[in-house]
Amino acid sequence: MSSLSRRARLLVTVLAAILLAGFATGYALLGRERPAPAASAQVSGPALMVLTNGRLSTVAATDPGGPREVTEVACDRVYAAAATVACLEPVGALSATRLVVMDERLRERKTVPLTGFPNRLRVSASGRMVSWTLFLDGHSYATTGFATRSGVLDLRSGRLVNSLEDFAITRDGLPYRNVDVNYWGVTFTSDDNRFYATLSTGGHRYLVEGDLAARTVRTLRDNVECPSLSPDGTRIAYKSAVDGDPAKGWRLSVLDLASGRSTPTAETRSVDDQPAWLDGRTVAYALQSSDGTNDTWSVPADGTGAPHLLVPGANSPSPPRH
Amino acid sequence: MFRRRTVTTLSAAAIILAALSVPEVTANAATTTFTPVADTYVDNSATGTNYGTSAQLGIDNSPVKRMFLRFTVSGVSGTVSSVKLRVHTDNVSGAESGSGGSFRAMSNTTWSETGTTWNNQPAIDGATLGSIGAVTANAWYEIDVTSYVKGNGTYSIGVTSASTDGADFDSRESGGSTAPQLVVTTGTTTPPPTGDVLVGAGDIADSGSGDSATAALLDDIPGTVFTLGDNVYTNGTASEFANYYAPTWGRHKSRTRPVPGNHDYNTSGASGYYGYFGSSAGDPAKGYYSYNIGANWHVIVLNSNCSAVSCASGSAQVNWLRSDLAANPRPCTVAMWHHPRYTSGANHAPTTSVAPFVQALYDANADLILTGHNHQYERFAPINPSNQLDTARGIRHFVVGSGGAGHYGFGTILPNSEARNSDTFGVLKLTLGAGSYTWQFVPQAGKSYADSGTTNCH
């Protein structure tokens, strides 16, 4: 089964035509390289990366509602940190998804073939670690009977964790095993070894803290989904199921790890996203309208203020990068 | 984030407009003003940049700037007697120009406001609607677009300039009072469409209440009922048909011609489905069949469960389809099955295995394709088998997975997707005219999402 993107298939077709025509040059030049976005005076300085109807785009951090650079790179989810841009490619009619890791010029550095529907994606602040979540069965966290898989790639060592489900679990202090285990929404700490994620088992959706080297996780708290660690490592923004029931939607909330105190943000609409910290005080997330339009919003992390439309017509926000 | 204008701008503008416009008044005349649902411009000096959120729209010939406006006209009844496009120049120095631009209709009505750039801009390919001469800053200008805007629907207008002195207009993000306007004046009321009715949806009956809500709609709509597969959840068993379908949509079983879906085939051979519907569902070994409605319409039901009944070119099903189409003398044809060839839904990607169906129907000049599978409503423009706009021979595709099963979200919106909704259960009502069809999405009680229109048969 081909996993080439439509663009790449077109390139291959063009290449074949060129070869047949006798101009057999430059094969190595025409791989899966993507064109770097044209330099532009419109988006300069710190930039936010988002998706605009599935196209990798950037907006100026100082004017996120202003002009945006729209590339031809197609992703279902994107995340960028430091010099690493990660993209989960759309599932095509004839192709599965892949993780594509690019550099800051959007040149492809590494790919990982994957199975399932792209859902969450995160890069550690250093740009070294990448984690993804895909739906294997079902497509919604609001239903029962879905299944997810989360994996991790260490770009420095090349080590690939296909599924966190192989890690040893400590639940409420005791070893735990269950075939119903699902993981989603990984977020990395600054040491590029420890991480937080959601572990679902037995009707609970736990916040777990994990250790990649030790291949272990331990439960910290119930009803925490899609955690996102603040830049200073002290707080976790997450979605909290209303009344503990995902069918009722989720309240975007922030957990203080030291005190264990959780604060709902001023966003009262149901947020089904893994939030991203724009800075130490603000989180960003996407909401979808009933016509399929996605908008990226931001809200203060401390429960004050009000939601602010950050990037119209965009989802999958990443923190500003220089 | 967006610039706001002062109240003095509004009153000055209103005075100019009053002097400029003499409304045509006819008996029962009504005027409705629409603001754009999308507007943006592109600039060849920044080819990858999108300006969809800008408060300003620019046209110029150096650098080349083109602007795009899209309006959705809805709720207008009666004969359209006059349609005026009004644009307002920006209240800044430099907005003025020796040319206010050349305005043309566009066939592409699905370009993205926040994704359109010089590199991927839609073609300005339709009739010339008019041009505006010299413009000053902070003033209204008007173009007669009656030749283009004929009634309810979505319309795109592209504007170019041959002048190297660019003009700047206010966009819909400018704050409201100076946003572009489409002023639609209607005369006498038109009668409702006449014809036989074909009504239904897919992805219907489960333990929830969505199926009851859509069945209640059918209670008030006469005509032939269609389904689009996944009639019951989760496994298409006889008991699911008895417990979920029979008490709801089953009230209309005697006038229903069904389509099988993948959940129906979770029971071997879809025996629950064929057992429940009997001869109305056709041969249980095939699941595909056709019938006629009135003198003008041919209805084809296909089986897109291709692992059970092959959908490949040269298969018995596709050979039957081509023969059935060739033997059909009626001017209008609608085909339906479960798995959509094109969908923007997040949960199920477009299905290529039904491409032989689409090609055969296109080759035979069919008019409509109805599918389900993604639990939402989506309507496409008339398209060719490669999802390219084709106003001459294109087939209008619908996904009507809104029959009652829990809603799905959307992913990347495909080109030519004209209408979408993911939070309303409802049915699609088709009124089959002598040489045209009128579609109407009928929402569940208490919901307001609407989508309707009329298209001529090929």
Nearest to A291 among B112, B350, B421 (CB): B421
Bridge partners for A219 per DSSP = A208
Predicted confidence band of residue A8 (pLDDT cuts 50, 70, 90) = very low
Predicted confidence band of residue A137 (pLDDT cuts 50, 70, 90) = confident
> For the ranges A57-71, A180-194, B184-198, B211-225, which has the lowest average pLDDT?
B184-198
Query: How do residues A234-258 score in pLDDT, each as one tens digit?
Result: 999 999 999 999 989 999 999 999 9
Q: B417 to chain A nearest CA, in Å? A: 11
Task: Give the homologous superfamily in CATH for domain A34-311.
Answer: TolB, C-terminal domain (2.120.10.30)
What secondary structure does DSSP assign to A53-118, as a single string? TTEEEEEETTEEEEEEEEEEEE-SEEEEETTEEEEEPPP-SS---EEEEE-TT--EEEEEE--SEE
pLDDT of res. A42: 56
Contact A76 B46 (CB under 8 A): no
**Identity of residue B300:** I
CB A80 within 8 A of CB A62: no
Q: What would the mean pLDDT of A257-282 be, rounded to a whole number?
A: 97
Question: How much is the ipTM here?
Answer: 0.83
Q: A300 to chain B nearest CA, in Å? A: 17
Which residues, other chains included, contact B31 with Cβ-Cβ below 8 Å and sequence gap of 6+? B23, B183, B184, B185, B186
Q: What would the mean pLDDT of B318-340 be, rounded to a whole number?
A: 97
Q: What would the mean pLDDT of A63-89 be, rounded to a whole number?
A: 96
pLDDT of res. A174: 97
> What are the structural domains, with CATH classification, of chain B?
7-186 (2.60.120), 196-456 (3.60.21.10)
Instruction: Please state, rounded to an integer, the average pLDDT across all residues of chain B.
Output: 92
> What's the token pair of residue B306?
């291709």
Query: How do residues B256-289 score in pLDDT, each as one tens digit?
Result: 999 999 999 999 999 999 999 999 999 999 999 9
Contact A290 B120 (CB under 8 A): no
pLDDT of res. A36: 43
pLDDT of res. A143: 76
pLDDT of res. A27: 31
Contact A38 B47 (CB under 8 A): yes
> For the ranges A218-232, B16-30, B180-194, B205-219, which has the lowest average pLDDT?
B16-30
Contact B53 A65 (CB under 8 A): yes
Contact B422 A292 (CB under 8 A): yes
SS3 content of chain B, % helix, strand, coil (to 5): 20, 35, 50
Q: Which of the pair, B24 or A110, is modelled with greater confidence?
A: A110
Nearest to B420 among A91, A291, A309 (CB): A291
Predicted confidence band of residue B2 (pLDDT cuts 50, 70, 90) = very low
Q: What would the mean pLDDT of A40-58 be, rounded to a whole number?
A: 85
Q: What would the mean pLDDT of A270-293 be, rounded to a whole number?
A: 97
pLDDT of res. B190: 66
Distance between CA atoms of residues A292 and B374, nearest Å: 13
Distance between CA atoms of residues B169 and B191, nearest Å: 39
CB A277 within 8 A of CB A317: no
Burial class (CB in 10 A: 0-12, 13-18, 19+), B191: exposed
Provide the terminal-to-terminal Cα distance of chain A, rounded to the nearest Å: 38
Q: How many residues does chain B have?
A: 458
Nearest to B412 among A53, A65, A290 (CB): A53
Whether residue B63 has a cis bond before it, omega within 30° of 0: yes
Nearest to B352 among A67, A94, A291 (CB): A94
Residue with tokens 């689009």: B228
pLDDT of res. B44: 96
Query: How do residues B24-34 score in pLDDT, each as one tens digit?
Result: 333 457 899 99
> For the ranges A53-62, A235-244, B70-79, which has the lowest average pLDDT?
B70-79
Predicted confidence band of residue B180 (pLDDT cuts 50, 70, 90) = very high
> For the ranges A35-39, A73-77, B158-162, which has the lowest average pLDDT?
A35-39
Bridge partners for A184 per DSSP = A198
Chains A–B, number of C-beta pairs less than 8 Å apart: 109
